[in-house]
Amino acid sequence: MRAPGLSRYDDQANWSYLPSCKFDIDATDFNAGIGVAEMLGRANYIAIVGGGRQPKFPENKVILWDDAKKKAIFTLEFHSQVLRVRLSKSRIVVALQNSVHLYAFSSPPEKLSIFETADNPKGLCCLGSKIIAFPGRTPGQVQIVEIGNGNVSIIPSHSTPLRALELSPDGEIVATASETGTLIRIFSTANCTRIGELRRGVDPAFIYSIAISPNSTLLAVTSDKSTLHIFDLPSSGRSRNGSMISNRPHRNSNSSSATGSADEGNKQKWGILGKIPLLPRVFSDVYSFTSAHFETDDDPQTDLGKSVAMPIPGILGGKPRKGVIGWKDDYTILVIGAGRDGRWEKFILGEGEDGRRHLVRNGWKRYLGRN
């Protein structure tokens, strides 16, 4: 199996990985570098930007590719490098270093708005059915734009620049992490209030990826600690259609469900210590209810210590993104690694004999055209 999304893997690949897509990746080999690729659901349309040592297309152009017809439909050109593209049936969002461009999905595309942002080297942006989320003009802030009326709201999420940004599939919550990498903050998109805070760990870390489950009840996060963490998400007062555990047989009638107390993970980690008011807040914070190790395939010659710049899509000389998360369904998680031994790993979330939820690695497979 080759790299998801496109059959050509290069040293700056930035895939928006969609595990449910039925795209035939072996049918489209551009035989040159691809820096960004975004697929429109299960449709034949793919937004492509060149990258790597031998780019197939200019890095300042977005090529909308029709894979059924094997040709480009239209091209969007910019004055600087394109870092990320998001697609829906009605909108196209393009993220540059200091701006986000919004287009109507038409032929040719109609430019609707341009929004200024703080430095955004990762091209962070999320596109939902009703809103768009991306960094604000001030580092650590998030802008929420309503697609229908163009109203803009600002969320002061962190005091340091954003490292990760994710919108839930139902569009009702947004999750953020900063360069510090210790906390993931959860906000309601309806009123921009903070409804939760999840602690990945105590030591600073480089967050690789944040992803929310299809039913918008669970959050997964990976970092340079080589650990995949799973959290329960606060509900923000909205109703939900069941949970992972409530839809499956219980082995233990006393076990807790996925939509139970938000601090279940915290109680498991620190017990009664979390209730003592004078102790540091790390004892009362909400931690993941389960975690597992994943492979980063680090090259010991280039990844020694924190002084080495970690992979950032779109920067020359960078390396492929590590730890990219894809939810195949509400119980199955795929994590894509990188390096000379690139692979993806499959994890299954289930309930153990002890009544608690556990994350188990179910298998792995290399890509780069190798078995």
Q: Is the pLDDT of residue 283 over 60?
A: no
CB of 264 closer than 8 Å to CB of 289: yes
- CATH class, domain 157-371, is mainly beta
Which of these ranges, 34-43, 217-226, 322-331, has the smallest mean pLDDT? 34-43
Q: What is the mean pLDDT of the chain?
A: 77
What confidence tier does 56 reach under pLDDT thresholds 50, 70, 90?
confident
138-176 pLDDT, tens digit per residue, is 999 999 999 999 999 999 999 999 999 999 999 999 999
- Domain coordinates of the chain in residue numbers? 1-119, 157-371
217-246 pLDDT, tens digit per residue, is 999 999 999 999 999 998 755 444 433 333
Q: Does 157-371 match 1-119 at the fold level?
A: no
Which of these ranges, 24-38, 81-95, 263-277, has the smallest mean pLDDT? 263-277
91-141 pLDDT, tens digit per residue, is 999 999 999 999 999 989 999 999 999 999 999 999 999 999 999 999 999
Architecture of domain 1-119: 7 Propeller (2.130)
Q: CA dihedral defined by 222, 224, 227, 232, rounded to 10 degrees?
A: -30
